Amino acid sequence: MILQEDVDLLRNIPLFRNIDSSKLKLLAFTAERLTYRPGDALFSQGDQGDAAYIIVQGEADVVIETPSGPLIVATVKKNDFVGEIAILCDVPRTATVKAKSEVVTLRIAKDVFFQLVTQFPQISVELMRELAGRLERTNQKLQQAVGEIKRLSVNPT
């Protein structure tokens, strides 16, 4: 029963929407279902990326370390995909993802993920759209922060 739930979950994620049912079933079968308690880290900034994660249930904060301490840059929830940057770019994790509530994930190993991208070019297109959207949101936040810094430097309180 859980296998079918995982297949249905995958089908609702834009990244996997156009994959046929048999491949989704194989992906769901090879993915590892993991549960995290509030405060647990799915992975930590600086770790080597060996898998990507799909949030099945719950919420988690995406946290980056800054000189002034940890900064929450996003919150992910059901159907969100995290951890792909480290496996795509073969770089250490760029952030820590920490469970905000009880979180259930599907962990997709790096080799399985690359097999999917190779077999289904549409996944690459959807992944580029997702990453471009994240970059756009980050740029907007950066522009707001720079504007606020300029405002404060001109009108210190």
Q: Please, is 104 exposed, middle or buried when counting C-beta atoms within 10 Å of its C-beta (0-12, 13-18, 19+)? A: middle
Q: Which domain holds residue 85?
A: 2-154
Question: The pTM is what?
Answer: 0.80
Least-confidence region, from 68-72, 77-81, 147-151: 147-151
The whole-number average pLDDT for the span 133-146 is 82
* Res 109: pLDDT: 93
Tell me how many domains the chain contains.
1
What CATH number has the domain bearing residue 108? 2.60.120.10
Tell how far CA 102 is from the center of its chain. Answer: 16
Residue 1: pLDDT band (50, 70, 90) is low
First-to-last CA distance in the chain? Answer: 60
DSSP letter for 16, please: G
DSSP codes of every residue in 107-129 = EEEHHHHHHHHHH-HHHHHHHHH
Residue 113: pLDDT band (50, 70, 90) is confident
What integer best gives the mean pLDDT of the chain? 87
